[in-house]
Amino acid sequence: MSSGLAWLVLLLAGLCEIGWAVGLKYTEGFSRLWPSVGTIAAMIASVALLGWSLKVLPLGTAYAVWTGIGVVGTTLLGMTLFGESREVARLVAIGLIVAGIVGLKLLTPD
């Protein structure tokens, strides 16, 4: 697998990470069948895609980017879907996470 494909797979893994994190809210403690099935499927896909990307990418970088995508996406969806706080300090912190993700991508050799 090429480096570019590995980064794309890692991005998809991060999107699945967001999916299962947000999905947890809808499962109501895994008491609702279909949201639970979707959440578990997203969990499996997220970890499988992360593992696939690790064939090429360094572990520390891939894991940090994967969790960073999950944190940023989940936080933004929490604000959008569930009315969570949008205070400036929180948005700045999210921006710092995004900067860290971009920095890791730029500093990882191909």
Q: Which positions ≥6 away from 96 have C-beta within 8 Å?
A: none
- CA 39, CA 44: separation in Å to the nearest integer? 9
* pLDDT tens digit sequence for 22-68: 999 999 999 999 999 999 999 999 999 999 999 999 999 999 999 99
CB 98 within 8 A of CB 72: yes
* CA distances (Å), origin 89, targets 38, 86, 92: 33, 8, 5
CB 9 within 8 A of CB 24: no
Across the chain, mean pLDDT equals 96
Q: Is the pLDDT confidence value at 78 over 90?
A: yes
Instruction: Say what the pLDDT of residue 29 is.
Output: 95
- CA 53, CA 99: separation in Å to the nearest integer? 21
Q: Kindly state the percentage of the chain with pLDDT values over 90.
A: 96
Instruction: Say what the pLDDT of residue 110 is.
Output: 72
CB 63 within 8 A of CB 54: no
- CA 69, CA 62: separation in Å to the nearest integer? 11
Domain residue extents for the chain: 3-107
CB 5 within 8 A of CB 17: no
